[in-house]
Amino acid sequence: MLPATEVEEELELDTLPGVGPATKAKLKDAGIETILDLATSGPMDIAEAVDIDVSKAVELNNKARKKLVELNRLEPDFINAADLLAKRKAIDRISTGSKNLDELLGGGIETWAMTEFFGEFGSGKSQICHTLCVMAQQPREEGGLDASSVYVDTEGTFRPERIQEIAEARGMDAEKALSRITVARAYNSAHQELIVKDLGHIIEPNKVKLVILDSAVAHYRAEFLGRGTLAERQQRLNRFMHQLLRTAEIYNIAVVVTNQVQAAPDSFFGDPTRPVGGHVVAHTSTYRLYLRKAAKNRIARMVDSPYHPERDTVFILNDRGVDDPSEEPTRKK
Ligand code: ATP
Ligand code: MG
């Protein structure tokens, strides 16, 4: 492993052509401290930070991306398909805790991608997020990546006690499991955006391979009410989702977002994405899974994926978090 200072040196902002001390200082003031930060920031954010035109900010962002390509940390714009296939071998997977659900996902949730779980209240979105934070810590043989996670909690529903329970039920050290999860409580959409901008500083030093956003859209839904604010909401949400996706790609981490939608009671697949700028989230997500309740079980379906089977799969929620129906302990709760 390289000593920390050496890594930082090659990522220093002023190694980029055209970035002088003044620009560097302004970027740093805005929390953009390294070339990685600059590459993950949206042009609008860069423009605001340095007080320049958006076109100039796009240029700056492109320079950062180019530098990362040179450093072999990012894909070039044009890449041979065979090289791309080889590069995609770097994609890792984290088990959800359920074999059925993993199978539906082609082996678990992917790094270098954003996976969206959407469904009505109680459909298991937050339970999946809690379980994933535990599963990510497992060794590879057990479906994990021996990695830490970040849980951005926008609704105040993260429960350390639940992590403890899941870890213990899976034969893991609960204290250790808790210590490898960083929780960020986001109080409003602006705060949530700030947290995501800062993610880079947590990801690199902490061996983070999973970032959860539970929920990605709740604050936007609450803050932007009425027709007049719809355009602004969509724009803000779009900017935010793209920043998340860039973060997933640049750090090769798995990003998981949740999105609450109301079930369409008449036709099951009526339009479950109707509420909350669902389309912005839908278009940015790499994979989308629709969850629904069916008595004690939960049913998941992969939506809009070109290469995943379009079928339902069943999972359950128990002391192990997410699990398979056959493995449910036969004791009464
Ligand atoms: P919302 O949209 O309201 O955030 P959600 O999709 O995030 O909903 P979850 O919180 O993931 O919903 O799921 C809640 C459900 O998880 C509960 O209704 C319960 O059935 C189940 N659950 C929670 N804890 C346990 C547990 N320890 N054992 C079994 N089931 C549990
Ligand atoms: Mg929830």
Give me the CATH number covering residue 235. 3.40.50.300
Give the residue among 256, 280, 284 at the shortest CA–CA distance from 152: 256
Residue bearing the CA closest to ligand 1, atom 11: 124
Number of domains in the chain: 2
Q: Decide: 321 in ligand 1 pocket, CB within 6 A.
A: no
Confidence class of residue 274 from pLDDT cuts 50, 70 and 90?
A: low
Q: How far is C-alpha 245 from the geometric centre of its chain's CA atoms?
A: 7
pLDDT of 333 above 80: no
Residue bearing the CA closest to ligand 1, atom 14: 122
Instruction: Give me ligand 1 centre to Cα 131, in Å.
Output: 11
Question: 0.75 cut: is pTM over it?
Answer: yes
> For 249, phi and psi rounded to 5 degrees?
-75, -40
Confidence class of residue 6 from pLDDT cuts 50, 70 and 90?
A: very low
Query: Quick check: is 84 in a domain?
Result: no
| Per-residue confidence (pLDDT) for residue 283, from 0 to 100 | 79
pLDDT of 54 above 50: yes
CA gap 327, 75 in Å, rounded: 41
Instruction: Give me ligand 2 centre to Cα 153, in Å.
Output: 9
For residue 124, give its domain range: 91-330
| Per-residue confidence (pLDDT) for residue 264, from 0 to 100 | 56
Looking at the structure, tell me whether residues 44 and 98 fall in a common domain.
Answer: no
Average pLDDT in the chain: 88
Give me the CATH number covering residue 10. 1.10.150.20
Percentage, residues of the chain above pLDDT 90: 65
Looking at the structure, tell me whether residues 307 and 175 fall in a common domain.
Answer: yes
